[in-house]
Chains A and B, each alone.
Chain A
Amino acid sequence: MEEEKFAAIIVGAGPAGSTAAYMLAKAGLEVLLVEKGAAPGVKNMFGGRMYSHALNQVIPDFWEEAPLERAVARELITFLDGGRSLTLNCQDLSWTEPPYHSFTLLRAEFDAWLAGKAEEAGAMLACGIRVDDLLIKDGKVAGIIAGEDEMAADVVIAADGVNSLIAQKAGLRKKAPAPHQVGTGAKQVIKLSPEAVSRRFGLSGNNGAAQLFVGDCTKGMQGGGFLYTNKDSISLGLIVSAAELQKNKHRISDLLEEFKASPHIAPLIEGGEVVEYSAHLVPEAGLGMMPQLYSDGILVTGDAAGFVLNLGYVVRGMDFAIASGAAAARAVLSARAANDFSRQKLGLYQQFLKDSFVLRDLEAYRGAPHFLEIQRMFKAYPQFATGLVSKIFTVDGGEPEHLLGKALGQIKKSGIGWGQLAGDGWKGARLL
C-alpha cells in the first residue's frame, strides 16, 4: 500500500542521522529514522567533546535545552615520556560564553535528546531495528530492508557510522574500512564528585577541560590519549591505529589500564569509580577513505562518509556529522521540490558540503593522516620535547648550557635525524 512509503529513511540515529531527520521532519516530510540500538546513543561513544558551531546552525542556542556536561574553558596538550611530561595549558574564558566554543557531553543522553528532537518534529523513530540491506528498484535505491520487512522511500540517508553497511550495499564503498584507515578507541567514564573534577583541573564553576596526550600512552604507536571533564565524571581514553595494534599484538584495554595507572593520570582519577567502558572505531584516513557521497536515491553522511578529523591536538567528528546531516537534509529538500532523486540532483549535497566547513576543513588537512602516520610523532618527539624542557628546569650543579645546546643534545639523544626533523617540522607546520 502506498501509505507505507516514506519521503526519507535515515539509517542510524547518531548525530548525523538525527540531524538530518530533524531537519526533514521540521520541513514537513514523512521521515523514518531507524536505529539498531535499543535506544539512540546506547552503544555510541566518542571521546567527549563537541564543537558547538555546527549544531548551533541547526538548533540555535541548543545549549539551553541539550543535555551537556561542561563548557570547555581549558585546553591542554601533554607530551609523555616515562616519568616526564610536558603540558601546554591554555585557558580562554570567552569559550564559556555564548556561543560556547565546545562542550563535553555523554552520548547516551545527548543522542537520545537529539533523536527526541527529530521525533518531536514529527519523525518516526524505530529503535532496536537493524537495517540489513537496501531496496533497489531499476538500479536506484528505493528503500531499506530490515529482517523480513521492506520499507520504501524516495531517498535513503546512510548515517550508520564508521563501518557503514549501507554505503557498502549501495556500492558507494568497497568494503568495511581497512585497519590502516581506522583507529580503535577505548574509553572509560570515571565517576568523581563535581568538586573534585573542578579542583583537579583548576576549573571554576561548571567550566570544563579537554586534554590530549601524545607519547608513551600508546607505546609509540600512532594515536593518543584523551581526557574530558564531565560534570561529575571524567571521560578518559585512547585512540590507537588499528593496524599498529594488530601488528604489535597489544590490547587496547590493557593499554588503557596502563595509562590509568601511569603517574600522569593516576592522581587525576584517584578515588574515582569506573561507571562505563566502551570501545569503538574512528575513521582516520581523512579524505583518503571518503566513499562516493551520493548516488540515485542515497546520500552518505557523518562517519559513514569518513568525515572525521584527527589532528592529534583536535578530534572532530560530531560537528562534521551534524553539518553533513544538515547538508544531506537540504539536498533532499531540493530534490523533493524538483521531485527528482537522481544522482545528478542529489549531487547538490557535495556542493553544500564544499560550501560548508566540512569538505573545506577536510581538504585543508588532507595530508594530516599521512603526517600522523610517522612513527616519530608518537615516540621520538614527545621524548625530545619532554627531555628538553625538563633539562631547562633541571638545576643540578652541572655545567651551564645554552638552550640551543640543550636542544641539540636532546635531539641527538632522541635519535631523530636532522633531515627528518626539518622535513617533519615543515610538513607539520604546513598540514596542521
Chain B
Amino acid sequence: MAGVWILAESREPTLELLSAGIDIAAQLGVKVAAFALSSQLAEEYIKCGCDEVMLLPPLAAGQPLESYVPVIVEEALLNGPDIILIGASQRGREIAARAAAALNTGLCSGCTGLRLDQEKKQLVMERMLFGGAAVQTVVCETRPQMATIPPRTFEQAQPAEGHQGEVRQLPAAPPSPVTVVERTPKTSEAVDITEAKTVVCVGRGVGKQEDIALARELAGVLGGEVGCSRPVAEDLRWLPEELYLGISGKKVKPDLYIGVGVAGQIQHVSGIRDSKVIVGINRDENAPIFEAADYGIVGDLYDIVPKLVKEIKAALKI
C-alpha cells in the first residue's frame, strides 16, 4: 500500500508517529500503514486509526531487530510508500539509514518538526545542525520521503470509535550476519528527569564522583533532581545515561536549571534551551554557559554551591 508508513520499536513511539502520520495522510488523501511486532499491537494500531498493519513475524533466536531491514525494503519496493516515519531509537536510526540507502532515497534524521507543503505534496522537515546551534529545513527530492523522529515529539494517537483496518503478515527476516550473543536490559532505576521542575546539572567541572553530593544537596533544598552532561554519564559513568541532557540526551524544560561545572557547549545547551530560567556556575568567565544563562556566577563551584545552599535555606527558612 502506498501512503504514509510508520515504524517504531515499541508501542508508545508507534502511537506518537501514528498521530502525525494520520494527520499527513489525511492532507494527502492517502492511507496510513504501520509495522507491528505482535498481532495484539496490530489490533491496537488499527483501533487508533491505522488503515493497514504489516505484521512482522518473530525473529529467530540471536537475530537483532535490524534483521528486518531487507523485509522492510522489499515491502517498500513493492508498494512504493510516499512517506516513512521511523521512531528515532538507536535501532530505529540504523534501520532507517540502511533502508534509505537501499531505497536510494533521502532521510531526515532526528526530525524535530514537520509539515506538509500541500502544493508540492512534500514534507518540510526541520532538524538540528551544528550540535543545535542552528535549525536546518530540508525537503526530500526522492521517494519515499523518510524521517526519524525522536520520542515524545507528538502526542500518542487515541483509539477512534470503530476504526477498521487490515493486517498483513510479512515474510520472515532472512538470516542475519550479525548475531546477538548477549543482552543486558537496562535496570531503570533513574528518575524521569524530564518531569523535574528544577534540575541541578553536574558537569565535568565536578572533580570527583563523591562531590556530586554537593549538587544533590542543592537539588535537595530546591526540591529538584540531579542531571548531568554527556561525559559525566558516558565517559566517567558517574550517573546513569538517562540523566544526561543535550542533543543526544534528554531534552528538559524545567522552571529552573542550574549548571554546576558545566561548560555549556552547544550540544548540551540544545537540551536545556527551553528552561524558564538558566543559572550557570563556572570558574571560567568565558565559558559558553554564560552566554546561555540568565544568571551566571563566576567562581569555584566548591565555594559557590555551599554558599548558594546556605542562602537558599536562609531565604526559604529551612
Contact = CB atoms under 8 A, between A and B. Distances in A.
Interface of A: 251, 253, 277
A277 B286 CA distance: 9
Contacts of B285: 251, 253
A132 to B, nearest CB: 23
Nearest to B298: A251
Interface string B254-286: 000000000000000000000000000000011
Contacts of A253: 285
Contacts of A251: 285
Interface string B276-309: 0000000001100000000000000000000000
Interface string B108-135: 0000000000000000000000000000
B226 to A, nearest CB: 31
Interface string B195-214: 00000000000000000000
Nearest to A277: B286
Nearest to A253: B285
A250 to B, nearest CB: 13
A98 B286 CA distance: 40
A253 B290 CA distance: 13
A428 to B, nearest CB: 36
B286 to A, nearest CB: 7
Name the 3 nearest CB pairs between A and B, nearest first.
Answer: A253-B285, A277-B286, A251-B285
A19 B286 CA distance: 32
B187 to A, nearest CB: 41
A406 B285 CA distance: 46
B311 to A, nearest CB: 23
B263 to A, nearest CB: 16
A277 B284 CA distance: 13
Contacts of B286: 277
A251 B286 CA distance: 13
A253 B287 CA distance: 13
B131 to A, nearest CB: 18
A33 B285 CA distance: 32
A297 B285 CA distance: 41
B59 to A, nearest CB: 47
3 contacts: A251-B285, A253-B285, A277-B286
A215 B286 CA distance: 27
A253 B285 CA distance: 9
Contacts of A277: 286
